[in-house]
Amino acid sequence: MKKIIIKALVTVNLIASSLLITSCAQLSSNTSQDAITIYFARHGKTLFNSYDLVQGWADSPLTEQGIEVARYLGEGLKDIKFDAYYTSDAGRQRETMQVLLAQKGVKDYKIQELKGLREVFYGGFEGGPNAKMVNASMDSLGYKSVESFYKSYKEGEISVAALTNAIAKSDPKHQAEDYQQVKQRTQAALKTIVNNAIKHHQKNVLAISSGMSMQVMISDLTDNSNKNKPLSNATVVKIVYKNGQYNVVEIGNMDYVKKGKSTLKN
């Protein structure tokens, strides 16, 4: 009987040890996650961009120049293998992605749409002149002239939070999104992209979004002052996610476009 009890105890200890080892291995796996790199790019130049019209949830197609810069970006990203592709439901973002992927030579792909990647909704300013929106909102920011406003804006001296809220406050229809609304949905979209990447073991992800919404998305993820500078068409914001931490490693990077342009021109 004593031998049977000892044998049973040894068996229980072996099982417990095995479970502990398995648990530790799983814990180690969860805490040493592979890095996920998300390349966010602004769409190419559109018809509304050319006419200097407000373009948030309003949409317009790419111009010839917009298609060209999307091709340059695709060529500049040619050496990177992407595991997933995202846009919002805006036509200008989808068109940019399609042109880019055609240039990269990617044929078998699926574009996933997330409404959270839309541009800021500018309410009653949508489709109207940018000048009207600027004039209506700059007073609340303390600017007396358009020239001084644009100078500060281009140099990144106006926080994207302050600018978004000033536009929302000045909207004659009182429907424009404020900073918190945009941040909530863009960061929720970012979280969805990361969660999908973890689930499907994806390392590199490409997403096409819009300028101001991208700025809002990274506004509290980095201390880099470049986060408040306006983003050019096809510029890249790169985010690396690992072990629960977001690291914004590139803001407003046009090197991919320059590389692609140089390659195609030669």
Long-range contacts of 242-247, Cβ-Cβ distance < 8 Å, separation of 24 or more: 242/33, 242/34, 242/35, 242/36, 243/31, 243/32, 243/33, 246/190, 246/221, 247/222
Structure confidence at residue 32 (pLDDT): 60
pLDDT for res 23: 41
Write the pLDDT tens digit of every residue in 191-218.
999 999 999 999 999 999 999 999 999 9
Q: 3-state class of 165 per DSSP?
A: helix
The pair of three-digit structure tokens given for residue 6, joined into one six-digit string: 């000892």
Tell me the C-alpha distance between 34 and 185, whole Å: 25
Q: Would you state the pLDDT for residue 171?
A: 97
Q: What is the pTM of this model?
A: 0.88
What's the pLDDT at 33? 75
Q: Parallel, antiparallel, or unpaired for β 36-42 and 236-242?
A: antiparallel
Please list the ranges in the chain whose pLDDT falls under 50: 1-31
Q: Give the span between the Cα atoms of 239 and 257, in whole angstroms.
A: 18
- Looking at residue 4, its pLDDT comes to 47
pLDDT 10s digits, 134-163: 999 998 899 999 999 999 999 999 999 999
